[in-house]
Amino acid sequence: MWFKVLLHLAFCMALFESTTSLNQSSFPEDFVFGTASSAYQYEGAAFEGGRGPSIWDTFTHKYPDRIADHSNGDVATDSYHRYKEDIGMMKDIGFQAYRFSISWSRILPSGNFKGGVNQEGITYYNNLINELISNGLQPYITLFHWDLPQALEDEYGGFLSPKIVQDYAYYAELCFSEFGDRVKHWITLNEPLMYSLQGYANGQFPPARCSKWISPNCSVGDSSTEPYIVTHHQILAHATAVKIYREKYQISQNGQIGISLNAPWFVPLSQSKTDIEAAYRALAFIYDWFMEPLYAGTYPAVMVNKVGKRLPKFSRKEYLMVKGSYDFIGLNYYTAYYVENVPCQRENQTMLTDSCTNYTPIRNGVPIGPKGASDWLYIYPPGIQDLLEYTKEKFNDPIIYITENGVDEVNDGTKSFDDKLRIYYIGQHLLYIQRAIRNGVNVKGYFAWSFLDNFEWTNGYTVRFGIIYVDFKNGLKRYHKRSALWFKTFLHQ
């Protein structure tokens, strides 16, 4: 009983600190505050404006039982039609930027040049960009947020094939050419880890490939090789797009280009040497897997050692292109885990077990932090400072944007706007970001996930990540949650 009372008291004190001691002026003058979204989760208009289907359209319609509430993104929050209303709300709150993704199949229905450019899609994004700028918000564009055109999956297996590199490059250059005169921040890929892991290691996301013994939902796939192949092609696609931008557009358009990577922080389950090593190894297999090639042109040595011949290699030409292929790094941070060392598997090896680690949010029956609505999300704000300082020290002090950070609540059918936990979450993470900045980390911005409640992938609409409440039962009406009003105060001080 007393433990619960003390825990509640600590929570209230932390909430008070996060809501009273911070405001926009607590951060550097050029620090950017914004919110984030993605096309499939927000736009809707799935069959309008000349858009072609993506693998998420196919997946949600073919396997509705794999979405918690059997829903899809056909309508989502209907931002395709309501973007002006949403931008007006962003402006009123005081945000300076909006991170959104382009639906690849909305501007290239066939995924490449073969089907031609959909001018209706180009017009939509031009209108969105212009509306943002006219309202004083800067567009931060993500080129790929998991919604691969279905045509490319059908034609050659999408990111399993090296052919994807040139088709992605064609798409990226089209965006640079059409929008780059106004867009100053480009993000090539969002969370490539999750695309590889969820799509090809455990098969929970499209294209739902994995070893048959991992999931009955996977009729095809190889969890021991395909995640590494897909990641390799994602990195090459990223680097190719960066090369094109730098050589043909960057000087005249005066923009920057980077990538958004996600990682939890890992805390050793015990202070044993093996668990401490396991924590760094877990981070290597999730974060350094991408950062090491982008920084140094090679995969982490521990991965080369553990994965062996299943891990692709960069050619000399690819090494030179990949190394240094970013102007900034986007970090998506949500949660943390305890990690312990476990014996390496000799049979049924997969990307999921190759790190020879096991991680859990619980130690001795106590969670690492308060739990969000999603099963994987436990609140551990110090982890964002740890991850930032790790990035600074290991990868030579890059420019960093926090491109996603947020927590969800259960959509229980009630119209509740009192999201105190989200205010605590955001406030505490901003405190630790501020401490990282004081310690010399070059953090330039923070984008809250998310502006609106939206389609949350396999969770459907059963959880809410927004600072704006969307009434999915009543015309998608928008309402400020308490966290939106907190942000309005925060950004106007």
Question: In this structure, are residues 408 and 453 in contact, taking their beta carbons and an 8 Å threshold?
Answer: no
Q: How far apart are CA 42 and CA 39, in angstroms?
A: 5
Q: How far apart are CA 284 and CA 264, in angstroms?
A: 11
Q: How far apart are CA 42 and CA 20, in angstroms?
A: 32
Question: In this structure, are residues 279 and 360 in contact, taking their beta carbons and an 8 Å threshold?
Answer: no
Q: Residue 493: how many CB atoms within 10 A of its CB?
A: 11
Burial class (CB in 10 A: 0-12, 13-18, 19+), 8: exposed
pLDDT of residue 20: 54
Q: What is the pLDDT of residues 302-330, one digit of tens each?
A: 999 999 999 999 999 999 999 999 999 99
Q: How far apart are CA 100 and CA 140, in angstroms?
A: 6
Q: Residue 395 to residues 22, 296, 382: CA-CA distances in angstroms?
A: 29, 9, 20
Where in the chain are the domains?
A: 24-491
pLDDT of residue 141: 98
Q: How far apart are CA 264 and CA 376, in angstroms?
A: 10
pLDDT of residue 7: 46
Angle, in degrees to the nearest 10, between helices 79-93 and 119-134: 10
Q: Tokens 């964002």 correspond to what residue?
A: 384
DSSP readout, 169-201? Answer: HHHHHHHHHHHTTT--EEEEEE-HHHHHIIIII
pLDDT of residue 14: 52
Which pTM does this prediction carry?
0.95
Low-confidence residues of the chain, pLDDT below 50? 1-9, 12, 16, 18
pLDDT of residue 10: 53
What's the CATH number for 24-491? 3.20.20.80
pLDDT of residue 4: 41
pLDDT of residue 345: 87
Q: How many CA atoms lie within 13 A of 303 on its CB side?
A: 24
pLDDT of residue 452: 98
- Containing 409, the helix (H) or strand (E) segment is strand 409-410
Map residue 320 onto helix, strand or coil. helix
Which are the catalytic amino acids? 191, 404
